[in-house]
Structure formats: structure tokens, C-alpha cells
A and B are shown apart, each in its own frame.
Chain A
Amino acid sequence: MTTEAKPVIDVENLQVAFGRADAVRGLCLSVPPGRCHALFGRNGAGKTSTLKALLGLAPVKGGRVSLFGLDPARDEAQVKARLAWVPDAPGFYPWMTVRDALAYAASFRPNWRRDVEAHLVGKFELDLAAPTKGLSKGQRTQLALVAAIAADPELLVLDEPTSGLDPLVRRQFLEAVISTFQDRNPERRTLLVSTHLISEFEGIVDSFTIMQGGRDVLTAGSDDARARFRRVRAWFDERTPDALPIRTLKPPRHEGRMLELLVDGGPDEARTWLTAVGASRVEASALSLEEIFLTTATP
């Protein structure tokens, strides 16, 4: 084993219940410092419940949660001082202006970065004098992100940050996270993001967990996952073979003289077999994270 830094997020067998429904049923998660981990899943998969349990906003029914090696229930103040989060629908006191809302947020944060605040307010072209109650969904999310990043947290938690935003705002949002949040001591800046808009986070996430029904369907490193999950296409001179001796993730797709297989474990086995049964041409490509999600999570 290599000596890795102690995980910032360490979750063992987490169970969260809302009312009579079990939202999270035994999730394990370990994220080292400086990494970006994503939770992928459909609505109701348990992503938000997981984040809320980590943030102490939802009751933990079972299992163990540790952040920065601390217990968020016992050491609440210490834990909260080191993290910031952007909820999917940020709320502000309606009588406050953008300037008031930022000053209010800053009053709780000893390490508030005025330079970061000014930089991001400028980048997003937010009007400091505007009342928060008149802000659009995009502007509310931008304001919440300014407040979160200016707090200089070690752990930034984003819950469905870009859903419902237009493409330009989404792009700006991601750029701000990449260039501003990780600006100082990037090896200590950890990001946890929940999203169903997988493709735009493809380059940012180091590792991910696909959730379904409150459970972990797949946890993997992004590069490892793309090396494992492959689409292999083979063209035959005659008809495509029926019986397959290899395990595929979905039923094979026959299209004319082309046979398409989705496999887990690299393309070599499928390639060798397809060549052996007479394929005239074989092509393999990696599945993107979104395709991996669509393949592994059952509808």
C-alpha cells in the first residue's frame, strides 16, 4: 500500500432515513485531500440525502461519518469552519442586497477572502446593490458559489450546482471552481459534487460513485473506469454470430453486418474472440462517464 494522506471524507455503511423511506442504505465513501469526487444518480437515488447527512442536515440512522478525521455531530463548529456548500436551490434573506448577503456570509468566516469575492463578483457581473429577492436562478447559484469559495474552505460541496442554468453560466461556474477554488494549496482543496449532468464534469472528477436506490452501484477512478468500460464494434463479411462466450453489460446489438458489445474489463478479450470468429474489422472505444452511468444504472 502506498502511504496516502488521511481521507477528508470517510463514510462507512451510511444509512439515512426520511420518514418511513430509506434514502441511503449502506454507503461507503473515502475521498483523499485534493481530489474531486462525484456522486452520479437519478433524482431520488440518494445523492442529496448523502450530502445532507455529511453536512449534519439530515439524521444519520446508521453507520459512521467522519470529515477531516472529526465527527461532524460532536465537532460541529470545527467541521463547519472548514467546509462550504452550494445547495441546489440557494436561499437568501429577501430583504438583503447582494452586498449584504456577502457581508452576512463573511461575518461567520474568519478566513474570508475579499480578493476572491471581488474577483468572482466581477467575473459573474453580479450587481452588489441588487436585492437578492430579484435574482434569477443562475445569479442565486453564482452568489452562493462566491460566498462558498470566498470562505476559503478545504472542502467544497456542490449539490446539483449547474442544473437549470444556461450553458454560458454553467461554463463560468465550472471555470470559477477550477481556477479560483483550487488556486492556493490545491493539494488540500477537496471537492464533492452531486450531479446528473455528468458530461460537463467529465474532466474535473478524479473519481465517482454511481448511486441507485440509496446504494453504491459503482465506485471507480475516472481514468480507470474509461479503461475498463469499452464499446467494441466488429464488422463481418457474412452475418454476425449469435452465441457469445463473453459477458456483456447490455444485450449485444446487431445492426446489419455489425455487432456491438459493451464490456467491462478492457477490449482485449472481446477483440480476440471477435477476430477468431471471423470479424473482418474490430474497433474499440472507451465509454464516457455518462455512458458508463447509463450502462450500469438500470432504469
Chain B
Amino acid sequence: MSYDSVSGVRWLIDYNSGVPVYLQLVQQVQAAVASGTLRDGDQLPSVRALAEELRVNRNTVAKAWQELESEGVIENRQGAGCFVTASVTPLRRAVRTERLAAALDGVIVQAHHLQVPDDTLRSLLEERLKKFKQQREASNDD
């Protein structure tokens, strides 16, 4: 685990998760944006700094930032670095909905394997949404 004082994100690469390393970084930025740790205009660490810090290949961080840029989560300002952007166009929203549906499908399959009934899953989703909302409000009070 590595705490980054520039962005305030706690970066964690888990090689036992089976999730591609670049995708773990993408998901951590997405989670940090969703929870309010990262806000519109915040700067992400440079590819070089984060790669050195986490001892991962620079291509891996570059690929993650590229993916986030194509999703419209961050923008690359030439020479200045990568910044979080909150602007959401309708096209991006459609792409996001599609991705979210795929992620939810994964959760539903997991729930089936773990024999979690649909109602329990629904209330769990409610509970998590509430938790993120509280986190967001708490970080807005800072």
C-alpha cells in the first residue's frame, strides 16, 4: 500500500486479485472519484512518479491513465499532467452505463456462486450506496 500525498489516493496493487494491474489503477481512480477523495481539477501523480513508487512498469501506469482519459474521467493537459474532470457528455454516459452493467453482471454471477439471494444483494447495494454517500459528505466537510 502506498499513500500518495499529492492526490490523497491510497494506491494498492494486489497481484493475487487476478485483475490486470493497469485495471486496478483505473478502478482505484474511479473509486476515489466516486468517494470524493479525488475531485474535479485534482492532479494525478505523473506516470514516472507512480511507476517508481509502486515499482510497476511505466507502460502499465500510462495505459491506466490513457483508459481513464478515454472514459472522460481525467484529461491530459499537455506538459502539465493529468487532471480529474467532472464533465460528462451524453456519449460518455452511455459508455459508462454499459460498463456499469457489465460490472453488475459480474456481481450477480458472484452472488449466485456464493448463494446470496436476490433480496440480500439488493439491500447490500443500498447499504453500499449509503456508505459512499456518507463518505462523500464527510470529505466535502473538510
Instruction: Choose from B13, B17, B52 the contact partner of A285 (Cβ within 8 Å).
Output: B17
Asked if B18 and A226 make an inter-chain contact with CB atoms under 8 angstroms apart, the answer reads: yes
With a cutoff of 8 Å between Cβ atoms, the chain A residues found around residue B18 in the complex are: 226-227, 230, 267, 284-286
Asked if A178 and B59 make an inter-chain contact with CB atoms under 8 angstroms apart, the answer reads: no
Asked if A179 and B48 make an inter-chain contact with CB atoms under 8 angstroms apart, the answer reads: yes
In whole angstroms, how far apart are the Cα atoms of A272 and B112 in the complex? 10
Asked if A175 and B55 make an inter-chain contact with CB atoms under 8 angstroms apart, the answer reads: yes
- The answer to the question of B56 belonging to the interface, with a C-beta cut-off of 8 Å to chain A, is yes
With a cutoff of 8 Å between Cβ atoms, the chain B residues found around residue A227 in the complex are: 18, 20
The count of chain A contact residues (Cβ–Cβ below 8 Å) is 34
In whole angstroms, how far apart are the Cα atoms of A282 and B111 in the complex? 11
Q: A15-23, A41-49, A199-207: which one contacts chain B?
A: A199-207
Q: Name the CB-closest residue of B to A281.
A: B114
> Separation in Å of the A52 CB from the closest CB of chain B?
25
Q: How large is the interface on B (under 10, 10 to 19, 20 to 34, 35 or more residues)?
A: 20 to 34
Asked if A175 and B52 make an inter-chain contact with CB atoms under 8 angstroms apart, the answer reads: yes
With a cutoff of 8 Å between Cβ atoms, the chain B residues found around residue A284 in the complex are: 18
Q: Name the CB-closest residue of A to B15.
A: A288
Asked if B59 and A174 make an inter-chain contact with CB atoms under 8 angstroms apart, the answer reads: no
> Separation in Å of the A273 CB from the closest CB of chain B?
11
Q: Name the CB-closest residue of A to B47.
A: A186
Asked if B55 and A286 make an inter-chain contact with CB atoms under 8 angstroms apart, the answer reads: no
Take A230-B18, A271-B113 as given contacts and tell me if A203 and B56 are in contact as well, using a CB distance cutoff of 8 Å. yes
Asked if B48 and A183 make an inter-chain contact with CB atoms under 8 angstroms apart, the answer reads: yes
Asked if A203 and B16 make an inter-chain contact with CB atoms under 8 angstroms apart, the answer reads: no
Asked if A179 and B52 make an inter-chain contact with CB atoms under 8 angstroms apart, the answer reads: yes
In whole angstroms, how far apart are the Cα atoms of A165 and B122 in the complex? 53
> Separation in Å of the A259 CB from the closest CB of chain B?
16
Asked if B58 and A178 make an inter-chain contact with CB atoms under 8 angstroms apart, the answer reads: yes
Asked if B57 and A203 make an inter-chain contact with CB atoms under 8 angstroms apart, the answer reads: yes
With a cutoff of 8 Å between Cβ atoms, the chain A residues found around residue B22 in the complex are: 223
In whole angstroms, how far apart are the Cα atoms of A167 and B52 in the complex? 16
With a cutoff of 8 Å between Cβ atoms, the chain B residues found around residue A203 in the complex are: 13, 15, 21, 54-57, 60
With a cutoff of 8 Å between Cβ atoms, the chain B residues found around residue A186 in the complex are: 58-59, 62
Binding site for A on B (CB under 8 A): 13, 15-18, 20-22, 48, 51-52, 54-60, 62, 113-115
Given contacts A171-B55, A204-B55, 16 further A-B pairs with CB under 8 A are A34-B59, A35-B59, A36-B57, A178-B57, A182-B58, A186-B59, A200-B55, A203-B15, A203-B56, A206-B57, A222-B21, A272-B113, A282-B113, A284-B18, A286-B15, A286-B17
